[in-house]
Structure 1
Amino acid sequence: MADPVGLHPEPPPPPEVLVDQLSDLPEHLLLKILSLLPVHRAVQTSCLSRCFHGLWSALPSLYFHRRPFTITPRFVKMVDRALVFGRDRSVPLETLCIETCYYSRCSLPQKSVARWINRAAHLGVEHLRLRLESTTATAVCCSIFSIRSLESLHIETSDDLLRNHKALIPLDIVSTSLKSLCLWLNIDSPELTRLIGELPVLEYLELRGIDQDIIDISSLSIRTLKLGCKSGKIMKLAFPKLDHIQICVANNLEMFHGEMPLVSKAGFISRSPREVPVLVLESILKSVANAVVLELSIETYLRCCEMQLSFPRLEYFNFSCRMCLLKLFQAEMPVLRKADIHLSSAKEEFALQISNFLKCVANSVYLKLAIRDDWAQLKPFHLFNSNKKPPLFPRLLSLELSTSCHEATIKDVIALLENCPILNYLETSHVDPDMSISKEKKKTNWQSKLPRNSEGNYKHACFMDLHTGDEKSRVIKLLSRRLTSKKRKIGELAI
């Protein structure tokens, strides 16, 4: 006879026995596992098993960040324990990264940093990255360039504090195996020239914070160059093998001379509050005339003088500037494929300049055009000169337009569509102009005239397959629906 339910319950299953399978793994395999984790996670593995205790300090790459530590002495003690006292000399060190804040209250003791660099040199460090306060960074430069095994070096510090701290370069530079060098330091021009001249295999060079009147740099091996100079009246660059260059122009640059025949990618940024001579900008652009990719951002004032440029190999053009500078830029780009154009401070008197500028990018296949109206404008205006047709875009397949899509702009878009015979994709986005409260009543003239989209608003419109059948004609009719009478000129709108 069966027992009543519940009188003789079944015994519970035996508890699951947890087996520590990590402790039996060989040390080299454990190190391989830890190397795949971020350092702060690798440190936390010390509580998993005794075999992990302190093992993370033997990793080939060590990254130390000051941020998690509330006080500097605790951070210094941790680095000393892992790098100086807890690491066997027979275990090589590939990468060492030490990062702290720029503020003086978070600065590391110079003796401690020098001790870590000396220890890394004995361990054969190949890649060194330091983010230090400017006083400490400039003080340890001499010991850094005495590391023979070094292949890449990155020293980062605050640009605002470099003017009063100049880095000293040792007379005998031992780090001749450097292939990558990034310095956010202020170095005297002769010292900088000597340093680069003694690095025969250097391929990547990035300099920021240079505050010298004359910058004269040359190298036969460098392929990538990035310059961010705080000042410099004269700049001379000679790099016969250079492939990629990026320059942030100085405030007082007066002369530029460059010999870079093989550059394929170039970038130029000017945010100086002072005037930059157009001849300087023209010299920079002519030195990279063979570029395939060109990124140009001008947010400064130029002394009026037209530039006649030619880029026979240019395929991608990224251009950002104030509208008042467009009349200065005239260029030929016969093989251009993609262009990203960003224009600001648009005014009614610049309509002709936009039309002339678009001729420079008329050969593009993909075009992005973003135009921001000037906030002081009282009435909407045409993007293109109403007395002239927009330029012909014989190869244009895709057009993305971002601007204030009021009535005048929609008419310009329709005129532009008629000059794009093979256009397949059109995307338009409405951007409200910046207006003060006193002009709120005038915003009605700036409202979007785009057709209603699937989301129920007039902010965005996208049209595809324009090349099939009568699709383009249908889109033109759709864009024309919300326009007022054609007899009514846009300048006659009530304000």
Structure 2
Amino acid sequence: MGMISDLPDQMLLQILSWLPTTEVVATMLLSKQWKFLWKQVPKLYYNYSEHEGKDFSEFVSRSLQLHVAPSLKSLKLSISPYCDSRDVTNWIDLAVSRFVLELEIDLTAAQYPMITALPKSMYTCRTLSCLKLKALVLDDIPEDYPICLSSLNYMYLSVSIQVSADKFIGKLSAGAPLLKKTVVQGPVYGDQFLDSMTSYSELKSFTTCLSEWGPTVDSYFNKLEHLCMCTCSSGWWDLLINFLQRSPILRQLQLIKSCNSRPLSSGNQPGFTSTTHVPECLSTTLQTLEWRDYAETEFDMPVASFLLKNATRLSEAKIFLEYAAGPIEKLRIRTALAKLSRGSPTCHLNIGN
């Protein structure tokens, strides 16, 4: 104990920042030196699984009220099914009053829908740079709420939204001029959502898993450089080709299966229809392609062939085969992929397991 206690307080605070807040608070019992140190820790992480029953809410409320650090770098809340929505609202208010930089709220464990409206203070948090919302039920942002998220540059939404997602995200984006990366998972519908995305003047990276989305995209992503798309849903290629046609400076493309949807059988999977209009980014800017959980269905192979043939500036293509495939099947797929024509003479094709 003597050796670690001899370290400067700032170093001790950095060490404590890596621990769950339950363990951080427990250090107050070690000695007089540690009695108040936990109140200065810049990162707080609350996980309901470390508590029993309703003790979790009381612990979070009490420790947040006692926290005296001038600024809060990060607050992560993995919330108990027993929490009251009013408690969560109060916790967010407290975080905003501490000039929070990163805020994450995870309601994955909740047994019933909770949180239908975020507190007004969150929408005017000028210090917030990273916002992650998981498994929340959100209402529309009231018209009289001013929105000023002048530092927000990363947003992750995996939520159940009672109103149209395009309305919620559109309003949120209006006050977030520095937003550069957005990850959206869940039931988001309509072209208005895309219109709100393109309104982000600095949006350079976009990740999406929109299994219910239609294939038409009418908006242009003039500054988008990185696109990550989930391949879980039917017709994802139609959506992808629309994105490629409207992202003229795209440099990186990732195709992944990020959700738990069951793979489509070949009988239900739509056939690939090659387009006569090759997206501009394939012939001018696309440099890297990464495809995970590649299964070489009747759909995947033509898509891979189209991308490799027309991406004339591609420097590297990484294709990782679906885990369920056996060794003989993987060898056959590798052989087939290696034979595909490549439009870029300098493209290095890397095929992994």
TM-score range, shorter chain: 0.7 to 0.9
CA deviations on 1:247-305 (whole Å, 9 max, x unpaired) are 125546666355222221112347773544635x859983641211112468xxxxxxx
Matched, 1:191 2:172: no
Deviation at 1:341, TM superposition (A): 6.1
Q: Call closer, same or farther: CA 1:363–1:131 in 2, change over 3 Å.
A: same
Residue among 266, 291, 296 paired with 2:253: 266
Q: Match of 1:278, SS?
A: coil
Matched, 1:225 2:206: yes
Q: Match of 1:294, SS?
A: strand
Higher relative contact order (CA 8 A, sep 6+): 2
State the alpha-carbon separation in 1 of the partners of residues 142 and 287 from structure 2.
Answer: 39
Matched, 1:340 2:319: yes
Residue among 128, 143, 147 paired with 1:150: 128
State the alpha-carbon separation in 1 of the partners of residues 278 and 60 from structure 2.
Answer: 47
CA deviations on 1:216-265 (whole Å, 9 max, x unpaired) are 23022011111111311133443222221111255466663552222211
Taking the TM superposition and a 5 Å limit, the aligned residue runs for 1:21-420 are 31=13, 34-35=16-17, 39-71=21-53, 73-84=54-65, 86-88=66-68, 91-100=70-79, 106-132=81-107, 133=110, 135-140=113-118, 143-157=121-135, 165-171=137-143, 172-185=146-159, 186=161, 187-214=164-191, 215-216=193-194, 217-218=197-198, 219-233=200-214, 234-248=216-230, 250-251=233-234, 256-257=242-243, 258-269=245-256, 273=264, 274-276=268-270, 278-279=272-273, 286=279, 288-289=281-282, 290-296=285-291, 320-322=295-297, 325-327=300-302, 329-330=305-306, 331-332=309-310, 336-337=315-316, 339-340=318-319, 342=321, 354=336, 357-360=339-342, 363=345, 367-369=349-351
Deviation at 1:195, TM superposition (A): 2.6
Q: Call closer, same or farther: CA 1:268–1:365 in 2, change over 3 Å.
A: closer
Q: Call closer, same or farther: CA 1:38–1:188 in 2, change over 3 Å.
A: closer
Contact 1:227/1:247 (8 A) holds in 2: yes
State the alpha-carbon separation in 1 of the partners of residues 2 and 302 from structure 2.
Answer: 74
State the alpha-carbon separation in 1 of the partners of residues 24 and 276 from structure 2.
Answer: 52
Contact 2:289/2:317 (8 A) holds in 1: no
Unaligned runs of 5+ in 2: none
Q: Which one-letter code corresponds to 1:129 in the other structure?
A: E
Unaligned runs of 5+ in 1: 1-18, 299-318, 371-401, 403-495
State the alpha-carbon separation in 1 of the partners of residues 256 and 277 from structure 2.
Answer: 11
Give the root-mean-square deviation of aligned CA atoms: 4.0
TM-score (normalised: structure 2): 0.72
State the alpha-carbon separation in 1 of the partners of residues 156 and 279 from structure 2.
Answer: 26
Q: Match of 1:62, SS?
A: strand
State the alpha-carbon separation in 1 of the partners of residues 87 and 132 from structure 2.
Answer: 19
TM-score (normalised: structure 1): 0.54
Contact 1:326/1:357 (8 A) holds in 2: no
State the alpha-carbon separation in 1 of the partners of residues 300 and 286 from structure 2.
Answer: 22
Q: Call closer, same or farther: CA 1:56–1:166 in 2, change over 3 Å.
A: closer
**Matched positions, count:** 316
Contact 1:213/1:231 (8 A) holds in 2: no
The structure that has the greater radius of gyration is 1
1:388 is matched with which residue? Answer: none
State the alpha-carbon separation in 1 of the partners of residues 98 and 270 from structure 2.
Answer: 49
How many percent of aligned residue pairs carry the same amino acid?
19
State the alpha-carbon separation in 1 of the partners of residues 276 and 228 from structure 2.
Answer: 15
Q: Call closer, same or farther: CA 1:220–1:33 in 2, change over 3 Å.
A: closer
Q: Which one-letter code corresponds to 1:231 in the other structure?
A: E
Q: Which one-letter code corresponds to 2:272 in the other structure?
A: V
Q: Match of 2:114, SS?
A: helix
Q: Which one-letter code corresponds to 2:279 in the other structure?
A: K
CA deviations on 1:70-105 (whole Å, 9 max, x unpaired) are 21x211111111102x123x732221111136xxxx
Instruction: Give 1 or 2: higher strand fraction.
Output: 1
